[in-house]
Structure 1
């Protein structure tokens, strides 16, 4: 037993001789260089800016290329006054079937609503000469609060800030739809067939798209 204890004491003495004088290890840390604060990504839509108007023409079915900026909303006005059969306008972007009508047509639709799927090519099916014009926000009329706006066929109007409700009437034998697009979202306000008179809550500023190529309509914001 004494030999064992002596051996243990000898090991403890040897171990203590090898340990640091302070009895504690030293931890050394190196500070990483300070990084500049991160700026959170903005979810707000791009600020509208002026874009040169594009005009394209054709005689019958065909297609054309557009250089419209991917981050800018565009408004396509299509005219085919002598068409007598189906009139179809489609894009390779986020919108399909911009125009789907029969006979003479003139109307406006928004396009390039999805920046990750920008419009680069527009396809036209028609049996007569046509004109397609792509314009920026300056081409869209404003529907002022308390004043009645009247129109025919497909159209886009601008609702100013402060508008909270609209009264809409339409005379048509076909389908009629209303879409509202604000900086935050896009909503289908109405989709039915035949004559109507309705009121809907909205929130300006926003764009309002009327879909009804056979319709005569009136709109009164408030």
Structure 2
């Protein structure tokens, strides 16, 4: 199965390169922790504002459908969106990309969810679809995501994104498949890649909700919040 290993590895390498030689707030960079209040020097200058962008209000669902290869303009604004691509009768290579990233790269029937617009100043405007059967592509805000509730496992297969409420501090992940397993955690304006390996995976990932967790893989998975 052809997976998004290249996309996940490229994103990881981009993070390393940017953190070494680029100014802050570019790409998927983990912010530095602020100094404790007791150690800050008093100043007449107002304290800096939070770097976390407040979540915008509800955004109507956007849906496209087609058959075979296509170029699809989208109306989704400059905010994070969650794209579900479904091609139940596809065979051969299946791919979906924007100007900024490859979000689907698989073989055969496919249904999965990925996010877009997670990097500042990188708004997606067009989807390029490679498929040989009828498909649908749906974009939603976080209201369209499954929610990870503590102690309630969710199971499924292929790529998925979850909404994590503030009561959660970690998620346990178990995957079975032949390709790559990647787990992204997005909290505030930043995303991290704590898991990126070939083959099956079983482990726990710290997550401070509210956040989003993206699970990428070509097999089955079970995820449980705690």
TM-score by length of 2: 0.76
Which has the higher mean CA deviation after the structures are superposed, 197-206 or 78-87? 197-206
Larger mean Cα displacement after TM superposition, 61-70 or 196-205: 196-205
**How far apart, in 1, do the equivalents of 2:224 and 2:147 lie?**
11
1:48–1:137 Cα contact (<8 Å) kept: no
Secondary structure of the structure 2 residue equivalent to 1:180 = strand
Contact conserved, 1:154 with 1:209, CA < 8 A, in 2? yes
How far 1:42 moved relative to its partner? 5.4
Residues 38, 198 of structure 1: alpha-carbon distance in 2 compared, 3 angstrom cutoff: closer
Q: Quickly say closer, same or farther: Cα 1:40–1:167, change in 2 above 3 A.
A: closer
User: Which one of 59, 72, 76 corresponds to residue 67 of structure 2?
Assistant: 59
Task: Give, in whole Å, the separation in 2 of the partners of 1:165 and 1:77.
Answer: 25
CA apart distance, 1:41 = 6.2
Q: Which has the higher contact order (CA 8 A, sep 6+)?
A: 2
State how 1:22-171 maps to structure 2 within 5 Å: 43-70=51-78, 72-93=79-100, 96-171=101-176
**Structure 2 unmatched runs, 5+:** 1-44
Q: Work out which of the residue numbers 186, 197, 200 in structure 2 matches 1:195.
A: 200
With over 3 angstroms needed to count, the CA separation of the structure-2 counterparts of 1:146 and 1:58, relative to structure 1, is: same
Larger radius of gyration: 1
Correspondence for 1:221: 225
2:180 to 175, 180, 184: 175
Q: Secondary structure at the match of 1:98?
A: strand
